């Protein structure tokens, strides 16, 4: 499998550090609002990458954080007159519902920045001890000049940045030795959440959060680090500087970045106010349509959102669902059970579509071409599966369409959705785990249900559930 590596600007063969295993870290959202469909792009893209790598037999350790301490969260909490934690917890829960509704599987671990402060303090201390960081009146800065490779990911000319940066200094930042030095720790302002540290009572900078969470859950050197392309500079550049200077190892081997989701050919963002939340789109469309739309373009190509494109995505996805339904109708109604010799030969033909699918995905996750391969298969199904077919033939074709779609997380066999009885069973298991005070298992089951699009609600009358 080849992946485009932002670090080398080349497509490279993917060779994991440990054979058969992949460690992958995806920068998650800052939780102060419902996520918008721009935020959904990395979620859908990298969930599909994970699914494909699992399909290829890798064991994927997939970590994605929630940034739950940040200026925007604090501002929102002040506005509402509630603790910051209440805001972040609320939007983490909402984000998980949106993920489930888009069939984005929960990560192996979803660490929270606020739960990992001691590890961050330790990393900052190591950086100070090694001379890569300095404390000015309680604010700790990273000394970018000391890291020779600073700029290697974003391929930026640092001297230009430095001269440009002088005039960009924000007030209070003039104590820095260099405009490119960035904050590792900052003292608290009145009313802000804060933790005790050797330099001041305060909170970590954004970049150090990911360096620490990646190290804790995946190790000092990982296979893939990913996120939206806006994170290349400064966020990922700074993560590399911190981690490599602290640990003395390559931080991540492959850097993957998705291009932006635009609207009217402008980047969709909260600050520009030109966004739709996943929730809003979910009111109009099955979110499978959104998933299909996101995967219909290569993840490194900009994607423009419009009502028209959602409508055409809806009908395209429907064509796959209808082909599956037709196969099911044939399975239920035809008399011939066994595959005929002619059908056996025909089935050899469909292997070609799977090869095309794999070839596309192996080429830097070209989901657009992978979807084209599914459509070729749909066309085959529409011409070859009929009331003259055997059950076995219709079944085999149906299975092929469903399984290729499934690798992309697209649910096209509508009746294969989780049965109510399975859900009840999992809920009973969760109750038993809770009773046994095995809360980790209970949470695991809740996440498993969430991944199936089932949201649990603990009420006084017991646990209730609904489809997200
Ligand atoms: P944020 O909450 O802004 O930190 O964003 C969370 C993730 O969503 C990051 O990986 C961003 O790069 C990504 N992201 C934000 N806006 C967009 C967009 N319009 N298109 C694609 N990715 C985006
Ligand atoms: Zn990050």
Alpha-carbon dihedral 421, 422, 425, 430, rounded to 10 degrees: -140
Q: In the chain, which stretches have pLDDT less than 50?
A: none
CA-CA distance, 268 to 253, in Å (whole number)?
29
| Residue in 29, 154, 276, 298 to alter for ligand 1 test, most ligand atoms within 8 A of Cβ | 29
Q: Is 431 in the pocket of ligand 1 (CB under 6 A)?
A: no
Which atom of ligand 1 lies at the shortest distance from residue 267's CA? Answer: 19
Distance of CA 307 to CAs 44, 312, 436, Å? 19, 9, 50
Ligand nearest to the CA of 65: 2
Q: Give me the pLDDT at residue 449, please.
A: 85
Full-model pTM: 0.88
CA-CA distance, 195 to 204, in Å (whole number)?
9
Q: Using CB atoms within 10 A of its CB, is residue 250 exposed (0-12), middle (13-18) or buried (19+)?
A: middle
| Helices first, then strands: H and E counts in the chain | 15, 15
Q: Is 30 in the pocket of ligand 1 (CB under 6 A)?
A: yes
- Could you tell me which of 226, 221, 214 has the C-alpha nearest to residue 7? 226
The residue written with tokens 């649910």 in the block is: 411
Q: Tell which phi-psi region holds residue 204, choosing left (phi > 0), alpha (psi between -120 and 50) or beta.
A: beta
Going by the DSSP 8-state scheme, the letter that residue 169 receives in this structure is P
Q: Give me the pLDDT at residue 451, please.
A: 79
CA-CA distance, 349 to 359, in Å (whole number)?
16
Query: In angstroms, what is the span from residue 228 Cα to ligand 1's centroid?
Result: 5
Q: Give me the pLDDT at residue 425, please.
A: 83
Residue of minimum CA distance from atom 11 in ligand 1: 228
Query: In angstroms, what is the span from residue 28 Cα to ligand 2's centroid?
Result: 7
Distance of CA 394 to CAs 235, 378, 401, Å? 50, 12, 11
Distance of CA 155 to CAs 6, 152, 234, 240, 259, Å? 9, 5, 11, 13, 17
Query: In angstroms, what is the span from residue 384 Cα to ligand 1's centroid?
Result: 43
Q: What pLDDT, in 10s, does the model give residues 24-40?
A: 999 999 999 999 999 99
Q: Give me the pLDDT at residue 270, please.
A: 83
Q: Is 418 in the pocket of ligand 1 (CB under 6 A)?
A: no
Q: Is 206 in the pocket of ligand 1 (CB under 6 A)?
A: no
Q: Give me the pLDDT at residue 269, please.
A: 87
Q: What pLDDT, in 10s, does the model give residues 74-127?
A: 999 999 999 999 999 999 999 999 999 999 999 999 999 999 999 999 999 999
Query: In angstroms, what is the span from residue 31 Cα to ligand 2's centroid?
Result: 13
CA-CA distance, 387 to 326, in Å (whole number)?
10
Residues 16, 54 contacting (CB under 8 angstroms):
no
Query: In angstroms, what is the span from residue 225 Cα to ligand 1's centroid?
Result: 15
CA-CA distance, 299 to 228, in Å (whole number)?
10
Q: Using CB atoms within 10 A of its CB, is residue 37 exposed (0-12), middle (13-18) or buried (19+)?
A: buried
**Residue 432 is inside which H or E element, if any?**
helix 420-435
């Amino acid at each position: 499998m080849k992946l485009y590596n932002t670090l080398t600007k080349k497509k490279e063969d993917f060779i994991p550090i440990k054979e058969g295993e992949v460690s992958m870290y995806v920068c998650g959202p800052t939780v102060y609002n419902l996520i918008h469909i721009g935020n959904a792009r990395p979620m859908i893209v990298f969930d599909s990458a994970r699914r494909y790598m699992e399909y290829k037999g890798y064991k994927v350790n997939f970590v994605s954080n929630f940034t739950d301490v940040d200026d925007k969260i604090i501002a929102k909490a002040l506005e509402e007159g509630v603790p910051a934690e209440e805001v972040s917890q609320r939007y983490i829960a909402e984000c998980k519902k949106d993920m489930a509704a888009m069939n984005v599987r929960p990560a192996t671990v979803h660490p929270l920045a606020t739960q990992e402060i001691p590890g961050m303090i330790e990393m900052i201390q190591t950086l100070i001890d090694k001379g890569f960081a300095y404390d000015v009146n309680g604010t700790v800065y990273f000394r970018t000049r000391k890291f020779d490779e600073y700029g290697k990911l974003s391929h930026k000319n640092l001297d230009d940045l430095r001269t440009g940066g002088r005039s960009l200094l924000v007030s209070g930042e003039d104590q820095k030795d260099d405009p490119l030095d960035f904050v590792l720790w900052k003292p608290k302002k009145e009313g802000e959440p804060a933790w005790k540290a050797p330099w001041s009572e305060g909170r970590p900078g954004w970049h150090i959060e990911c360096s620490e969470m990646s190290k804790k859950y995946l190790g000092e050197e990982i296979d893939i680090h990913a996120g939206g392309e806006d994170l290349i500079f400064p966020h990922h550049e700074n993560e590399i500087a911190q981690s490599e200077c602290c640990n003395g190892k390559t931080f991540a081997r492959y850097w993957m970045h998705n291009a932006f989701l635009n609207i009217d050919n402008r980047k969709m963002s909260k600050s520009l106010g030109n966004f739709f939340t996943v929730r809003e789109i979910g009111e109009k469309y099955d979110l499978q349509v959104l998933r299909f739309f996101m995967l219909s373009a290569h993840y490194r190509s900009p994607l423009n959102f419009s009502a028209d494109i959602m409508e055409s995505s809806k009908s395209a996805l429907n064509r796959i669902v209808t082909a599956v339904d037709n196969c099911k109708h044939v399975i239920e109604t035809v008399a011939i059970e066994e595959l005929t010799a002619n059908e056996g030969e025909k089935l050899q033909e469909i292997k070609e579509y799977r090869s095309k699918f794999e070839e596309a995905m192996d080429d830097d996750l070209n989901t657009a071409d992978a979807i084209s391969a599914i459509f070729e298969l749909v066309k085959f199904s529409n011409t070859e599966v009929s009331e003259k077919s055997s059950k076995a033939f219709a079944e085999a074709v149906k299975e092929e369409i469903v399984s290729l779609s499934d690798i992309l997380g697209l649910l096209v066999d509508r009746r294969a959705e989780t049965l109510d009885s399975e859900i009840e069973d999992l809920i009973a298991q969760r109750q038993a785990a809770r009773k046994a005070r095995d809360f980790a298992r209970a949470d695991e089951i809740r996440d498993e249900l969430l991944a199936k699009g089932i949201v649990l609600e603990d009420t006084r009358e017991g646990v209730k559930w609904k489809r997200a």
